[in-house]
Structure formats: C-alpha cells, structure tokens
Amino acid sequence: MNKENIKISGMTCAACAQRIQKAVGKMEGIAEASVNFATEKLSVEFDEQKASLTGIKETIERIGYGIVEEAKLNSVTIPIGGMTCAACAQRIEKVLNKMDGIDKASVNLATEKAFVEYNPQKVKLSAIKQAIEKIGYKVLEIEKKNLVDEDKLRKEKEIKTLWTKFIVAAVFGIPLLYLAMVPMIWWLPFPIPAFLEPMQYPLRYAFTQIALVTPVIIAGYKFYTIGYKALLQRSPNMDSLIALGTTAAVGYSLYSTYQISIGNFGAVEGLYFETAGVIIVLILLGKSLEAVSKGKTSEAIKKLMGLAPKTAIVIQDGKEIEIPIDEVEIDDIILVKPGEKIPVDGIVLEGHTAIDEAMLTGESMPVDKKAGDKVYAASINKNGLIKFKATKVGGDTALAQIIKLVEDAQGSKAPIAQMADIVSGYFVPIVCIIAVIAFLGWFLTGHSLVFALTIFISVLVIACPCALGLATPTAIMVGTGKGAENGILIKGGEALETTHKINTIVFDKTGTITEGKPEVTDIVTASSVSRERLLQIAASAEKGSEHPLGEAIVRGAEKEGLEFLKVEHFEAIPGHGIEVTIDGVHTLIGNKKLMDDRKISLQELGTTSDQLAGEGKTPMYIAMDNQISGIIAVADVLKESSAKAIKKLQSMGIEVAMITGDNRKTAEAIAKQVGIDRVLAEVLPQDKSNEVKKLQAEGKKVCMVGDGINDAPALVQADIGIAIGSGTDVAMESADIVLMRSDLMDVPTAIHLSKSTIRNIKQNLFWAFGYNVAGIPIAAGLLYLFGGPLLNPIFAAAAMSLSSVSVLSNALRLKRFKPYH
C-alpha cells in the first residue's frame, strides 16, 4: 500500500471536501481517502497495482478542483567567469538543461550569470557547478536565493485577493445599501439626491442600483462559477446556496425594473439588489477572516520549518567553505561557531560546547556536548566551537521527522469528526429542499411572492456547512501544533481523542520513572578503611568492567576526582563479582554470594546491607585480604519529576501502575518513593504487552509509557502508547505520542492537552450544529408564524459569516494552552 498527501485548491466548504473524498473513495484500489478541509489536503492510501497517483489527481480535476504541486524548486544565480561570446552562453545553457533535476537554466552573457531552477532531491548544486567547470568555465561566488515557501506565498496571495474583492464589494455595496434604505428610514441625516428620488424617478433609481450591484457581483463571481458548476454536477456546496439566493434576489429585482420601465411604478418596492449586494459583501468579509484564521492554525508547523538554518560551513581540503544546506552530504565535516545553528544531525568529532535543544525537546536548559555526542539540526550552539560529522541530512534529520509527524497528525481525522462529515455530505441538498418547501409553503398559503422569496433567500444564505467542516480539523491543527511546541508529538486525531479517555497509566520503571543510569548512592566503610580509599580501590578494579553497576562506581570515582590505581591481577567470577590485586592487596568485589563462598563474615554490615536493599538499592561488598572492608550501594535514581507527575495523574483520577523486570523488593521500594500502589514486577520484556492486555480485560483504557525500544509491543498493545526520552532514538513507529523530553510531567500535560482539544471540538460542533438547527427554522419564518419578526436575508448572511469565524476563533483559543510544570 502506498500513502500520499495531495494538496488541493478550489475547495470552498465542507461539502467540497466530502465530494472529493467520495469521488476518490469510489475508485478501484483505494483503501482509504480522507480530505481535511482546514489543511486543504487529501490523504489517500492506495494499491499501486490497481490505482495510480496520476489517476487520483485526474479524478480530482475532473470534478472541478485543482492540484497544487508541492515539489519545491530551488532557484540559484551562478556568476560565471571565462565566457567570451554568445556561443559560450549557449553551450553552458545546453549542458545545464540536459541535466536531470534541472527545471530551467538560462545564461545571460551581459551579466555573466546563469539562472538555474533545480530540484534539490534530484541534483546537488555542487554537481551543477562541476558541470560548468568541466566544460572550461569558472564558477564565481554564488548568490543563493532561498527556497521559496510556495504554500506561504499562495496563502498570502489568496488572503490579499479576498481582501481586495471585499474592499471592492464594500465600496459599491455600502452606497447600494444606503440608497435602498433611505426611503424607508426617513430620519437618516443624508437624504438621497432629489434626482434619484424613487417616487419621482423610479427607473433612474433602479438603474443606479444595477450600476452599483454589478461590481459587487463581479467581485463575488466565484460564488456563481463554482456554485452553479457544483449544482449542475448534482453535488451542491455552500457557493451553490449563495449563488441561488443572490440570483433569486437579482432576478426578481430585474423583473421589477422591467415592470417600472413599462410604467408600473409600484414595482419600485420589488427592488432587492441591496440584498444580493450586501450578502456578497458579508460573505467575502467572512471568507477573508476565515482565510486569515486558517493561516494561524498552521503556524506551529511553519515555525518548525523556519527553524532550520539555510547554510552550513563544511571543511573541504582543510578550507572552510559555506554551502547551502541542501548540499550537505552524509560524512561531511561541519564547523559550527558559537551562536550559530546546527545545520544537520551528526556526531561531535572535536570541541566542547553547550547546545540549546529547546526546538527539539522544549527543554530550556542547554545540554553539554563533547566528542562522541549527538547533535541535532536547528539546535543552537551556545558557547563553544565544534566540528561534527553529518550522519543525517535532508528529510532524515530529527527536525524533518518531527515536521512530517506533525503534518501527518494535522491531516488526520478524529473519530468525533465522522458525524460532522456525514452531515456535511447531505447538508446542502437538504437546505435547498427546505428553502423550496418554505418558499412554496408561504406562497401557496396566500403570502406575496416577495415575502416567499425573502424566506427562500434567507434559508439558503443562513445555512453554514463551513462551520461544520472546520469544527474538528482546526482544533486538531492547533492542538497538535501546541503539543509540538511543548515537545509533545501527537501522531493523529485518533490518538488525540483516545488520550482523553485514559483511566489507567502503566509506567515502565527503568529509564522512565528512573534515570536508567545507575549511580553510587551510599558508601559504608568497616574497619580502618577510609571512604575515599574504598571507592578508589573499587573503581580501579571495575575500570575495565562492562557491568552497569561497575560503570556506576567508576563514574562515582571520576566525579570525586580520584586517581585510578594499577590493577596487578584481574579475574571475573560470573554471577558473583570480580577478584583483583591492587597495590599488593587481594580484593574481592561482588554480591553476598561471593562473600558467603569465600567465608567472609559481614559482621555488623549485614543489617546495613538489608536496609539498603529494602530501599531498592544494590549493595556491592568489598573485602580486602579476606576481611570485609565496606559496602558501596548503587541504585538507578529517580527522575526529579517522577513523584510530582504521578501525584498529578492521581489527582486527575487516573490509576497509576509500574511495570518492570526487576525483583519485587526493588520494584516496590521504587514504587513507594513515587507513590505508586500497583506494581507489576519480574515481567520479561516480551510479557509486558500481556500485562497491558490483562488490564484492558478489566475494562480499563490503558496508556503505556516506556522508553520505546524494549517496550514497543506493549506500546502497540495499549490504547495509547507514549514513548518517552529523546524522541530521535525512540521507536516512534510503535507509540501514538512521542515526548521529546524525558520529563514525566509531559504525560499529564499530554492528557490535559487532549482533554482541552476534545472539549474545544465539542464546543465547535455544538455551536456549528446548534447554529444551523436554530438558524434555518428562523430563516424559514418560524418566529413569524408565532407573531415574531421575519429574518432579513442580510442578517442571515451576517450570521452565516459569523458562524465560521466564531468556530475558528474558538479553535485559536487553544493557543493559550499552558503545560504543567
């Protein structure tokens, strides 16, 4: 199965999205098709044997929508030395245009420059330069024009066009409204000129209104071209409703103008040009505000995209050369100076610095980096000069993966949106039927044609499928974007929705609740050995050890600046410990079994070791010349945030459990420190998913939090899998949510974000449904039936524009979301 995202233009409301989804979904070989109206993207999964991407695009175009090709081209101006005549320019042009990946190349002899548009995925700038030099010309210093964000430019152009149309429509629409209203509202301060007096010069009055309404209709011409086209193809949308409503108003007004022209001056009361004009003005205003708001919902992803630096300093043949980021290749040696951004992912070769990785993890504290440490694209080098080797470039960097993850999540749909989608599909045809029934109902019960027509226009104009279509995707876009800003990557609408239902969370112990790195916690000495001497002997003995506990003792000695002594004899005793000779002293380091085997009495240290074990620590016994000398206790220490996060989750009414492969005694000691009551101990990695299954069998909605590598099966089995730690090494595939930091407070934050987003979606859907359910009957004359007022089509249009904008504004409130700390 192949999965693709296709950018679509020409969608005006949720009915359009439904129509594309239906048309593509019917094609052979399509497994799943989902259109997101807010992001204007179709996400489609298809069998390449039965369907093709070209075929899918053709289907979309056939039903009247456009495809926005997103392959971004880089443009570059290359100054060239050595050209002597037009033939030289022709030759370079010919060579470049023949290269695969070059879209267009033109060489100007007068300026001695080549302008090249190329696809960086297919051809590198270095290859273009080599091609020019190969045929005998010299490439001078390049002026690089940055990659143009076509999507951003397209959006800006769309917003600018809408505002222009609105201004034009308003310039003519407002005088039109004034002209129509003054005769009815006599007390207005500026009476209409005497030569336009409707009772004296009705025909002149009518023609003036036609002259004013025409530019307004031209400004809103798209409502008619798209609306009637959709109507003819039997899939009406929001534009169809506006087109029908305003056409009815203009049509009737033109008929009234004809009546005036043949001497029926009473027909001047049948002029409704201002209704059509003002409806178009208000809808254009609504559309302009909607376009601006829709742009804001995707700000998070644009912010992420803007993080990457544009150039990198690469060391080639001992020289520092600044090249475009697209030119960086794996294994290039890159130099980064203080204050600069890391251009690609890599491993530090030399230098020492602190790097601000807030863009990746949300962590504000800079992270120390030395040779052998990993660095990530777009993070900021704070104070040192480093050289590193590029390991991941282009779309493989951690930042690119995060952007892809957020984009996919924003394009996905939550199950809660399905009802709105179904309703959107049938909404417009039902509204058309209601409008016709209301028109006939009032007209046939003895009301005037004008009265019935007013009702017909109001019903068509008040209905708002847009509010329904935008209710869910906008909230998901803002919610997932907000998550990404705080280092919480939510993989899609479904994950976002399920998270708020979680009532049980299972934490893996090692690396999740604890640091996953054992540390020396206690040093207890016996006889005359000093604390420093005991640690020095133990660390010297363990220096070559691969064992995590041995490594912890070595790190402990390094922290205290102790000198390592020479080991004269070393022997490992599997399952027990080690036997060494240091400074002529015969030393044993190991567990209690080793001491028992060698008949070494623990004396009063026996009680101490039991006490340490009860606290979840591992005691290591040190005996010198067959005499017990002391105990060094090692433990996997708790993360600072563990107890606080677990307390927070419990206060949210969520049951917290801990799962570990450790023995029950150690596990319970750790659980007690963080306040967890339910402990699943001595569980092998492959059995973790079964433990999750058992909890699910109790009817619980389970979330598993692990470091994502040995926990992968359990992360998949759980209703929601949260992978914690550096989100670059984590098995992103198996988790639904990836936390970029190893701060456990992000778990309650993720649940809080999910609850806030779902609450926002419910508010949006309630408003969208409530607005339409209440608005349509009022427009159909329900209040008038019981002696109330009749809704003017102009107010109906204002309400309709307001409904979409209010749904978007409500979704944007999520931007104020604050994470737990």
Give me 642's structure tokens: 């563990």
SS3 85: coil
Do 252 and 244 meet the contact criterion of CB atoms below 8 Å apart? no
Give me 371's structure tokens: 């040779």
User: Residue 347: how many CA atoms within 13 Å on its side-chain side?
Assistant: 6
508 is catalytic: yes
Cα separation of 478 and 811, whole Å?
Answer: 7
Q: Can you list the pairs that 677-686 forms with residues at least 24 positions away whose Cβ atoms lie under 8 Å?
A: 680/506, 683/659, 685/661, 685/710, 685/711, 685/713, 686/713
In angstroms, how far is CA 570 from the centroid of its own chain?
Answer: 55
Cα separation of 65 and 45, whole Å?
Answer: 20
DSSP 512: I
Cα separation of 466 and 786, whole Å?
Answer: 30
Q: Which amino acid is at 543?
A: K
Cα separation of 21 and 11, whole Å?
Answer: 12
SS3 777: helix
**Which alpha helices (DSSP H) does 567-641 contain, by range?**
592-597, 605-614
What is the b/e burial string over 38-53, where b = at least 16 CB atoms within 10 angstroms of the residue's CB?
A: bbbbbbbebeeeebee
Give me 618's structure tokens: 């591992």
Cα separation of 149 and 596, whole Å?
Answer: 71
Cα separation of 103 and 651, whole Å?
Answer: 59
Dump the DSSP string for 290-339.
HHHHHHHHTHHHHHHHTTS-SEEEEEETTEEEEEEGGG--TT-EEEE-TT
Cα separation of 736 and 562, whole Å?
Answer: 45
Cα separation of 428 and 234, whole Å?
Answer: 11
Cα separation of 500 and 757, whole Å?
Answer: 9
Element (H, E) at 802: helix 793-812
Question: Which among 326, 421, 508, 719 is annotated as catalytic?
Answer: 508
Q: Which amino acid is at 402?
A: I
Look-up of token digits 């340490």: 612
Cα separation of 538 and 632, whole Å?
Answer: 9
Element (H, E) at 388: strand 386-392
Active site residues: 508
